[in-house]
Chain A
């Protein structure tokens, strides 16, 4: 039996990597008057659906996808959330 999951994946630059786009957006927010804003970092959000035998298997697959393609571990970190959307599709 397989389950269908929705994955929400967040890819962010590692803290050690300068994010000039984030710096530009931060200064834009300051100009709008949001003086309290700091540490703006711009990342990527990826959604996908996948079928797997279990949540653990889906999670393992997602780790591999992120390491192999979705994120570049040299410059990026990632995290994801899994939600089951339909049971027993197979």
Chain B
């Protein structure tokens, strides 16, 4: 399974992700500079955390027009896997692959912490290694992670089982305690917590590793 990690000016979690997909899981991984357009060799595209283009105007607002993102849209429309973590989640909402928006934390602080999350939907390629309702611990590190969507959108997310991760204790004012959502098809996942920072025992947390391992299982199952 081949991973591609989009690198914008200002991305800062790109190498952490490669350390997991290539270093720990031994999967071919390449860094994709934001000017690149050919992603046809990739199975999974990951949009990393950071501050793409300085997060000028709004988080993720400028990144949505980068050449690589046009190809990410095609990749997603083909039903292939797209993961956005933190700033990557913000980019996915700005570009419209996921509904809603991520705005300033309720208490205005940048929050760097470990949080408990509930796995709400374990039927997706992303979460199939988790138990339904499993409580996991992942790091968060964001100033603008408060999920917002209008009432109709929230209802649709709930009805379609698109809420993948929910905070056990809401750190930032996210509506419905949302920490991560998928699109209707389930091939696009956006989440504020960082699974890539919780995949190496040396770092103390390993609950994020199963997310990447689940993907490998998905491909084996498909073959």
Contacts and interface: CB of A to CB of B under 8 A. Distances in A.
| Interface range on chain B (Cβ under 8 Å from partner) | 10 to 19
Interface stretch (B41-49, B97-105, B191-199): B97-105
A18 B104 CA distance: 9
Chain B binding site: helix, strand, loop or mixed by DSSP? loop
B173 A72 contact: no
B57 A74 contact: no
Contacts, number: 32
A17 B148 CA distance: 8
Contacts of B159: none
A28 interface: no
Interface in B38-60: 57-58
Interface string A28-66: 000000000000000000000000000000000000000
Contacts of B104: 20-21
A18 B106 contact: yes
Given A74-B93, A75-B101, A75-B103, A69 B57 contact: yes
Given A20-B104, A20-B106, A72-B58, 6 more contacts: A18-B173, A20-B173, A69-B61, A72-B101, A74-B150, A75-B103
